[in-house]
Structure 1
Amino acid sequence: MRPLLLTVGSRGDVQPYLALARGLLAAGHRPLLAAPRGFAALAAAHGVEFAPLNDEMLALQDTVRGQGVRAAITAARAVKPMLRRLLDDQATLTACQADVIVYHPKSLGGPSIAEKLGVPAFAGLLLPLYLPTSAFPSPILPLRPPRALNRASWGVSAAVEAPYRGTVRDWRAEALGLRPGSRAVAGLVKAGGVLHAWSPHLLPAPADWPAYARPTGFWTMPVSGDWAPPARLARFLEDGEPPVYVGFGSSYSGAPETLTATVLEAVRLTGRRAVLATGWGALRAGSEPDGVLVIEEAPHDWLLPRVAVAVHHGGIGTVAAALHAGAPQVVRPFLGDQPFWAERLHRLGVAPAPVTGRLTAVRLAAAIEAATDLTSAARALAAHVRAEDGVTAAVARISRAS
């Protein structure tokens, strides 16, 4: 079987698809992973065939982060030409003669590539996006509506895609020779073309979803057992009690110096050691008080099993890694689906209430202390999550469809 896996975005959007590609490869198939060109080396390291896609939008996102409204408006004007170049790269993928396509909705071109090739397609969703339910509102809705409006709230996913429909329509006709109109992703998902890539122990399928929508489990990479930590990180971990991990990825758009100062004061108030990951700039490297180590990044699957508490933004990739590690979590959500996962973790008893509103050192310190009392619950849930094999479940489903 020749599966085409198509994804765009940051590492959190790419790594689950790489995990799926590895699973397909192990099952004897010949997957092709198409993703932003910056991930070519990562794919090569795992022996996965790779097709590079335009990554200008990812670079633009990094450039304007934290630069204010004017920079964001200026950047928005450049998005459509960049999107067209990304879609044109995707059009070349029709030459790979795929038997089945698994696409991230951010790619926008996945359903059209499948239509051109006449092959089955699955939306590989890392969070619920397109199947309405009355059990909970759309995770990307910025406000929590009354329960009676839960099902109606799922229309927000289609609204998010609206600004790009004209570009996609023109590309379909000009690059693929297809009719201008196309089926919306929501329609394809409703017809059964979906793989929900999260743990049912984190979020089970609601009762009003069809059987095909049951989550497969997380698509996770093998533990980075061969990863060698920098000497200073290894020494720090060996020199005392497990530290608190703090990392907010790329979510924070305010002043990183202020956020860093707040985090350092919160850590001081707890009297605990800490590892701060600057990531994409949410936190800022600077002086390291006693008991604090600042790093750029480290594989979550390696680091989080070695910490006492994981403090983060609530992105699903970090949520999955912390659940798998059995680390209690403190979530300071900023945007998108992060509040949804933060509240879900709290309901499961592996995180205190989300730290929302104004972030202060006192509030963050209190949340860290509250999280330490949830260690047993986090470890118990981790045993269930680690017993799942989401990649194998997804490979089986893909194999049946081709």
Structure 2
Amino acid sequence: MRVLLSTIGSRGDVQPLVALALQLKALGQEVHLCAPPDFRDWIDSLGIPVTPIGPELRKSALFSAPLAAPAQFSPRRRRQLAEATVATQFETIAAAAQGCGIIVAATALQIAARSLAEMMKIPYVFVAYCPTVLPSPHHAPPPFPLPGQVPAPATADNRELWAGNARRFHETFGSLLNSHRASVGLAPVSDIRSHIFTDRPWLAADPTLGPWPDPADPTVFQTGAWILPDERPLPSELETFLQAGDPPIYFGFGSMGAPQNLNQVMIQTARALGRRAIVSRGWAGLSLVDDEADCLAVGEVNQQALFARVAAVVHHGGAGTTTVAARAGAPQVVIPQLYDQHYWARQIHHLGIGTAHAPGTPTTESLTTALKHTLRPDVAARARSIATAVRSDGAQAAAQCLIAAETHSSF
């Protein structure tokens, strides 16, 4: 079996598919990835064929915009972006899928993948990395994926919010998708979101950290999070820093943009608490404020090894970072900015393994308050306890299910 794994998103969207790809390869299957060009060299280095799709995300307004100054898109610009991504998907994913027996698509912006699978008469699987991406009366949809967007109020009616979400999907992509479908001889679809998600979506989230809210619901298949094992040693400079004192606080915002003073807030907060700091540069290019020995800036490193050796992890609330920190037993402060990050912030608070900071840009005072709570011994103990329940076999389970289901044509 040859499998196409496709996504449009940051490293947090791509890395779980890489984990699944390696599991499929280990089971003797052929795999091809379709992912943004930002990750081509990395995927190539793992021996996985990859087709780049779309422009570099790191240079896009969505990921380069500071948290305090979210990107603004006019209705005309939104329409242009929608037209461009749908056209690109139909062209690029169609080429990448040649010879494949199944397409697995991650993230809700995979508009073309199911139609292409239908055209090629091959199975299709949609996967979400967070429960709130999938419709349920038990939760609201995530806010639109732009910085500065906030979740719906708790008093809102979830069914009405999901109905509005479906309308927005169809208004944005309906005519575009159906035009492309007509060009390849496919009938129009009346509900774009349901078409993309299917009536049997997969949920690649850990059942302890992000359980599907209705265990009796047979329509969602929860595999567990797809975690990519990382055996890399930590850089010598980082190893020396860790050994030179008490466990530091890790600060990182992954692929998010950041205001210019965020590094100052993070380091001032650590020093106010008498703690050392590790600052991850990330896509925002965060840096240190001085040359003092109590802080260290790092690039992309083995978070699985690092998080087991820090006092706390302060981050943006991506599904991957949240899961890795929880699996390492590290207490967390989540400062959500967009989309599903608000859900993970709430879950960290609900599970008692950290603090949900208010969305947006932190101040030294607000971050100090959040970290004081997170660094309490009872929170650290709870984080270590939860860590023992976080599974690491989600990608393996998903790979086995894909092979078994394809063999028996049960999609």
- Which TM bucket (shorter chain)? 0.7 to 0.9
Distance 1:130 1:369 in 2: 31
* Cα deviations by residue, 1:353-397 (Å, 9 ceiling, x for unpaired): 4344773212212221221221111111111114x4111221233
Provide, for residues 255-310 of structure 1, a one-character-per-residue CA deviation record: whole Å limited to 9, x for no partner.
Answer: 22x22221121111100011011211173444243311122332322321221100
**Matched-pair contact (CA < 8 Å) for 2:4–2:32:** yes
> 1:155 maps to which residue?
163
Show the counterpart of 1:243. 248
Distance 1:55 1:71, change over 3 A: same
**What's the C-alpha RMSD, in Å, of the aligned pairs?**
2.8
CA distance in 2, matches of 1:130, 1:357: 21
After superposition, the Cα gap between the structure-2 partners of 1:335 and 1:130, relative to the gap in structure 1 and judged at 3 Å, is closer
**Alignment correspondent of 1:36:** 36
Give 1:187 shift.
4.4
* 2:320 alignment counterpart: 317
- In structure 2, the CA distance between the partners of 1:49 and 1:358, relative to structure 1 (3 Å rule), is closer
Structure-2 separation of matches of 1:134 and 1:80: 28
Name stretches of at least 5 consecutive residues in structure 2 with no aligned partner: 145-149, 407-411
Contact 1:243-1:307 within 8 A present in 2 as well = yes
Higher RCO (C-alpha 8 Å, min separation 6) = 2
Which whole-Å CA distance do the structure 1 matches of 2:83 and 2:360 have between them?
37
Task: Identify unmatched segments of 5+ residues in structure 1.
Answer: none
Within 5 Å, which residues of 2 pair with 1:114-193? 114-129=117-132, 131-140=134-143, 142-146=150-154, 149-161=157-169, 162-174=171-183, 176-181=184-189, 184-187=192-195, 189=197, 191-192=199-200
Letter in 2 for 1:150: N
2:104 to 77, 90, 102: 102
- Structure 2 CA distance for partners of 1:69 and 1:271, relative to 1, 3 Å: closer
* 2:94 matched residue in structure 1: 91
| Residue correspondences, number | 394
Partner residue of 1:396 out of 389, 395, 400: 400
Identity, % of aligned pairs? 32
Instruction: Indicate conservation of the 8 Å contact 2:204/2:222, yes or no.
Output: yes
Residue 364 of structure 2 aligns with an amino acid whose one-letter code is A
TM superposition shift of 1:170: 2.9
Q: Distance in 1 between matches of 2:70 and 2:351?
A: 37
Over 3 Å counting, the alpha-carbon distance change for 1:56 and 1:334 in structure 2 is: closer
Relative to structure 1, the CA distance from residue 208 to residue 2 in structure 2 (aligned partners, 3 Å threshold; closer, same or farther) is same
Partners of 1:208 and 1:148 lie apart in 2 by 23
Relative to 1, partners in 2 of residues 1:33 and 1:344: Cα closer, same or farther, differing over 3 Å? same
Verify: 1:291 aligned to 2:294, yes or no: yes
Tell me the TM-score normalised to structure 1 length. 0.88
Give the Å deviation of 1:168. 2.8
CA distance, structure 2, for counterparts of residue 17 and residue 216 of structure 1: 13
Aligned structure 1 segments of 4 or more residues deviating by more than 6 angstroms: none
The 1:310/1:299 distance shift into structure 2, 3 A limit, reads same
CA–CA distance in 2 between the matches of 1:186 and 1:235?
51
Distance in 2, Cα, partners of 1:69 & 1:313: 15
Taking a change above 3 Å as real, the CA distance of residues 130 and 339 of structure 1, as seen in their structure-2 partners, is: closer
Does residue 233 of structure 1 match 2:254?
Answer: no
Aligned-partner Cα distance in 2 for 1:92–1:362: 52
Whether the aligned pair in 2 keeps the contact of 1:315 and 1:337 (CA below 8 Å) is yes
- C-alpha offsets along residues 8-66 of structure 1, whole Å, 9 cap, x if unaligned? 11111100011111111112211211112332222233222222223355532378524
Mapped partners of 2:266, 2:71: distance in 1: 29
Post-superposition offset of 1:247: 0.8
Cα separation, 1, equivalents of 2:341 and 2:133: 17
Structure 2 equivalent of residue 339 of structure 1: 342
Q: In 2 relative to 1, CA 241–168 (structure 1 residues): closer, same or farther, beyond 3 Å?
A: same
Q: Distance in 2 between matches of 1:183 and 1:17?
A: 26
Alignment match of 1:267 (pick from 244, 248, 270): 270
Cα distance, 1:336–1:209 mapped onto 2, change above 3 Å: farther
Q: Find the residue that maps to 2:362 and give its secondary structure.
A: coil
- What is the aligned partner in structure 1 of residue 9 from structure 2? 9
Please say if residues 330 and 351 of structure 1, whose CA atoms lie closer than 8 Å, have aligned partners that are also in contact: yes
> 1:205 is matched with which residue?
212
